[in-house]
Structure 1
């Protein structure tokens, strides 16, 4: 099976549940609290592994309790972490407020993630040995640029979730094989409020673009042309944390299960799995704790 290298953030999520968000200066009571492994990179790695992919994780954690817990999780999920370095900075944290409707607000403290400014020899080897490289924007931009260049040299298919939206070098997005923003991110990147037009702009120059629209599904485009709208699977959402990461991890897992470069046919099939996986995740609480297994998704698609 094709290997997937995920270069990204690893955090411990500190999750509080509450009826609503407090107003500035207001104190309210929450209804629950939990600590859950997260970070967009780790989330996507776990989602892909649970869908049956062979995954390696590249990033950094602190030499602290949270870092040890995240390493243990990667081991338990069968994810390689030779490319996970240890930093003198504390492990990254995400402070997540989840309201009763299932929506969330997140504040990230990068910690060890901010120290990944260049790739070491082990990390370069991990990426070069992969067939797919998955990235987000929670690591410093210079390491993303370095990784893209390395991947292109070796013919590795690259996938970027441009979240959070940060200033990127000119031509960077065009050098990515598949970009997967949500509607807000797509608008920030292109200036286009219409997700169809945003997808067309992002997919120029032989790039795949998938603009996710939450409960409305997603828009798929390639080389400047929209191929269609993939509908979402209707569910009653409990917590949308990591739904997008579950979508991307499942998508790449299914692409990696194929042979050769992704085609329109394989992308449509991968989208079916990604849509179901993310729909299951929002019916559960947390990030990695909400992600379904291969058997769960396969049973829904059967």
Structure 2
């Protein structure tokens, strides 16, 4: 069982479903609304745990009505929350609109995530003891860099999902072992990804491609499913990839593609993350070793 530490965000997602997303200045009638705990860090932590890893979460919630629910979703998923702190002010939120085709539009307000500006000794000890550190870009960049540097110095594999996209300093790229990007992000980062030893590019329903430091590639095709909501699919992909990275890129890619596809079959982010048994069953069904 891989030991993973996630240093990242946790949000309450405000999810509205609608036949089609409105044009600028237009009002449309929605079909439904739900409060769903999410955030890229939390989603990836839960995804890694459900895919079979031992996971500890380092992050922050506020002092509002969402804080206990956000802590609870991690605890209920058996993700360690001893490093989840409470700060003054609101928790992070994301407003998500999902259309009839399952595509989404997301607005994130950082809240407590924006106040994740320091890592204490216990956070650093957890990172040093882990097999994999997973980070995203929904918390302050200096915190991501500090976590990555400490991980690299202690032999912990650093996996970065550089989303939402922003310009990143060369000293952060230098600390990254594994980068997980979608096609749009890969195009935006361009040559900045070249020094990263392992790059995985997701291709939506078409699957994903892996590239190592020598330019060798692996491709895994998409898994056929009925899409309900693509929210959280990328996080399910990344969490499963991290959980099985120690088994090699080929196996990790199979787990990741399968988990990401299954996540699109349910509404919401954390609620749609598949369990290990579901992923294993799908892998067997597709003739792959679980």
TM-score by length of 1: 0.91
> Hey, what's the Cα distance between the residues in 1 that align with 2:169 and 2:274?
35
Alignment map for 1:21-32 (pairs within 5 Å): 21-32=21-32
Give yes or no for contact 1:202–1:224 (8 Å, CA) kept in 2.
Answer: no
Q: CA contact under 8 A between 1:203 and 1:221: conserved in structure 2?
A: no
State the shift of 1:204 in Å.
3.1
Contact 1:47 1:249 in 2 (8 A): yes
Per-residue displacement from partner, 1:97-122 (whole Å, max 9, x unpaired)?
00000000000000000001121222
Does 2:212 align with 1:219? no
CA distance in 1, matches of 2:195, 2:71: 38
Displacement of 1:203 = 4.5
Which ranges in structure 2 are unaligned for 5 or more consecutive residues?
A: 285-290
Which residue matches 1:251?
A: 241
Alignment deviations for residues 15-52 of structure 1 (CA, whole Å, 9 cap, x no partner): 00001111222211100000001000000000111112
Deviation of the 1:224 alpha carbon: 4.6
Equivalent position to 1:282, from 256, 264, 267: 264
The equivalent residue for 2:193 is 202
Aligned length: 284
Match of 1:144 in 2: 144
- Work out the CA distance in 2 between the residues paired with 1:226 and 1:61: 41
CA contact (8 A) 1:50 1:292 kept: yes
Runs of 4+ displaced beyond 6 Å: none
Alignment root-mean-square deviation, CA: 1.3
Cα offset, 1:171, TM superposition: 3.5
**How far apart, in 2, do the equivalents of 1:144 and 1:159 lie?**
11
Give the Cα separation in 2 of the matches to 1:235 and 1:24: 32
How far, CA to CA, are the matches of 1:156 and 1:235 in structure 2?
35
Aligned partners of 1:3, 1:70: CA distance in 2, in Å?
22
Map 1:8-19 to 2 at 5 A: 8-19=8-19
Give the TM-score taking structure 2 as reference length: 0.94
Cα deviation, residue 235, structure 1: 1.7
Other structure's SS at 1:90 match = coil
